[in-house]
Homo-oligomer: A and B are copies of this chain.
């Protein structure tokens, strides 16, 4: 018996997961490789960072997703190289995994544009470790502010600077504003809510630059209504222990800079700054049986524009490549269908655009809730997240405010 074609998928994000799911119980042998043992639902990461959700509620262990599926296996590992002629990839632990088809779906990472001072002095919001680090940092900054030795230090600890006015920055700024507004008056008698400053700094002339201008204006209004200081056409030049320095020389004293202002493709093979070039069938040109999908790949829409680095193109591409492999290549070119985009600002407030339609306010928020619950992986997660949102809505609480790090206790050291 001829062995089944071997498909190696590198990355268990949106693209890789959809590809593996579409190959489930099909006549191929699938190996899903990831450094993490879970799929992460990144659109809700900011809710972990802002004390509303648990990590387990926005993750799905990859082995659990493919529990009982005979032809899909998971392997923990970091791909560090590939031999396209001999058709194998190399892992950091030295293992070589041979493939008939290789799907590179390694997503993206934070882009600091080479600015080392920003890299060292900012907090990210791109993976789960960063979200937990940010949550811990914000809670500790509030604690330290209650016992700060002077007003200057107190003000610095109570200034939270979010760089980047895209969806991640806007959603986190709104959530942080609500956390402060709900929790500070009740539980921090040492602080007055008006002392807390949340800034969002965006380089272009409006928030959410990929949305319609009317939605940008709405987002700005809603954030400002929640006490967020919105500054557009504002670029950060550098950062140090005291705060950030803007391009125009302004210094902002802050203990917390959250960097959401750039992503770069996370190419495990070449460490190139650009997205991997692919043909209209999402194949790497010039090599056989290699596909690249999602954030790491430079696929284009019918107008020749690069697809945005968000989850819908990755998911569509994952399913496309799976069908392409199963059909033996007899497929027409990949065509991305833009189903629209949504971003939430807070309780009962969101913006969205689907084709020519625009949504704001409560309707947008409900749309946002439904879409995010729908795409979340796992029935259990959907139930739990829905319950947390209901609780949050009724009780107006963001309850997960514990500072935790995995590691030995202090006494042991």
A140 to chain B, nearest CB (A): 8
Nearest residue (CB) in B for A127 is B409
Q: Does the CB pair A408–B147 fall under 8 Å?
A: no
Q: With the chains together, A93 CA to B399 CA distance in Å?
A: 28
Of residues 16 through 75 on chain A, the ones whose CB sits less than 8 Å from some CB of chain B are: 35-38, 54-56, 59, 61, 63-64, 66-68, 70, 73, 75
Q: With the chains together, A128 CA to B412 CA distance in Å?
A: 14
Q: Give the segment of A184-192, A334-342, A345-353 that binds chain B.
A: A184-192
User: Within 8 Å CB of A139, what residues of B?
Assistant: 37
Nearest residue (CB) in B for A132 is B406
Known A64-B187, A75-B147: A405·B129 in contact at CB below 8 Å? yes
Q: How many copies does the complex hold?
A: 2
Known A75-B146, A411-B266: A64·B189 in contact at CB below 8 Å? no
Q: A272 at interface (Cβ–Cβ under 8 A)?
A: no
Q: Does the CB pair B110–A412 fall under 8 Å?
A: yes
Nearest residue (CB) in B for A48 is B404
Nearest residue (CB) in B for A77 is B147
Q: With the chains together, A271 CA to B124 CA distance in Å?
A: 39
A276 to chain B, nearest CB (A): 17
Q: A354 at interface (Cβ–Cβ under 8 A)?
A: no
Q: A304 at interface (Cβ–Cβ under 8 A)?
A: no
Of residues 373 through 413 on chain A, the ones whose CB sits less than 8 Å from some CB of chain B are: 380, 391, 399-412
Of residues 228 through 268 on chain A, the ones whose CB sits less than 8 Å from some CB of chain B are: 266
Q: Does the CB pair A61–B402 fall under 8 Å?
A: yes
Q: With the chains together, A72 CA to B155 CA distance in Å?
A: 25
Q: Does the CB pair B55–A402 fall under 8 Å?
A: yes
Interface residue tally on A, bucketed by range: 35 or more
Known A54-B56, A187-B67, A402-B61: A37·B409 in contact at CB below 8 Å? no
Nearest residue (CB) in B for A189 is B73
Q: A372 at interface (Cβ–Cβ under 8 A)?
A: no
A405 to chain B, nearest CB (A): 5
Q: Which of A124, A129, A130 gathers the greatest number of chain B CB atoms within 10 Å?
A: A129
User: Within 8 Å CB of A124, what residues of B?
Assistant: 408-409, 412
Q: With the chains together, A139 CA to B187 CA distance in Å?
A: 37
A378 to chain B, nearest CB (A): 9
User: Within 8 Å CB of A73, what residues of B?
Assistant: 189-190
Can you name 26 A-B pairs with beta carbons within 8 Å?
Answer: A35-B410, A36-B402, A55-B402, A55-B404, A61-B187, A64-B187, A67-B187, A68-B186, A73-B190, A93-B147, A109-B409, A109-B411, A110-B411, A124-B408, A124-B412, A126-B409, A129-B404, A129-B407, A130-B408, A132-B407, A133-B407, A133-B408, A266-B411, A404-B406, A405-B405, A405-B407
The 6 closest A-B pairs by CB, nearest first: A132-B406, A63-B187, A109-B411, A38-B402, A76-B143, A56-B400
